[in-house]
A = this chain, B = another copy of it.
C-alpha cells in the first residue's frame, strides 16, 4: 500500500515554514538557512552533499540524523509545489530554470511539480521533473502510478502540504519545530483546526534545540 509521507518539514516556533521574500538568491526568504541548521551537521546531509569527508563517516548520528535518514527510505516519487522548484510566478518566461539543485538533484526519482503552468518534462541527472496542473487527489493518483509500489514523498512547500492535509491524503507527517520566531512568511498550520484528531502524535526534543513531531494517520 503506497503511503504519502512528509519528512523534515521545518517550521519556526511561530509556525512559518518559509520566510518572506523568496528569490533566486534566497529560496527561504528572510528565514535564509535558519530553519535547516539542525539538518546540516547530520550524517545524512553530509553524505548527500558529497563532501570529501563523506568517506570517513563524518556527520552526527543522533536523533536529528535518525529522522533525516528516514527521508529517502522506500520513496518512489516526490510531489512538490512549484514554489519548491523555483521562485517564479505565473507563466514561465523561459524554461532555462532547472531547479535549485544543480546537475544531480538529490531525488533520483520522478518528481511531480504542481503548477497551473505546465511545461515539458525536464530530465536533470537521475531526476525527471514532471510539470502538471492537478488537484491534490489527482496528483496522488498520478504519483502512485509512477511509484512502482514504493511510497510517495510530499516535499513541500507549506502551501502544498496544507492542501494535501486539508484533503486528508497524508499518512505520515514529520515536522521539525525550530526555536526561532520568524514573524512573517508562509504558515504551515493555518486552516487545520483539529488535525490532531486524525493522527497519533509523537514528540521528541533534540539536544540541538529542535523538536520532532511525528503525526501518523490513525487507521480508518
Contact = CB atoms under 8 A, between A and B. Distances in A.
A23 interface: no
A70 interface: no
A205 interface: yes
Contacts of A193: 181-184
Interface residue range, chain A: 20 to 34
Interface string A136-179: 00000000000000000000000000000000000000000101
A179 B196 contact: yes
A213 interface: yes
Given A179-B203, A201-B179, A205-B203, A14 B192 contact: yes
Count the copies. 2
A45 to B, nearest CB: 21
Nearest to A175: B13
B196 A203 contact: no
A209 interface: yes
B179 A183 contact: no
Contact of A203 (B182, B189, B209, B213): B209
A106 interface: no
A57 interface: no
A204 interface: yes
Contact of A181 (B194, B204, B210, B211): B194
A108 B205 CA distance: 35
A64 B80 CA distance: 39
Given A14-B15, A189-B181, A196-B180, A205 B211 contact: yes
Given A14-B190, A180-B194, A181-B192, 13 more contacts: A13-B189, A13-B196, A13-B213, A15-B15, A179-B201, A181-B189, A183-B191, A183-B192, A203-B205, A203-B210, A205-B205, A205-B211, A211-B211
Interface of A: 13-15, 177, 179-184, 187, 189-196, 201, 203-205, 209-211, 213
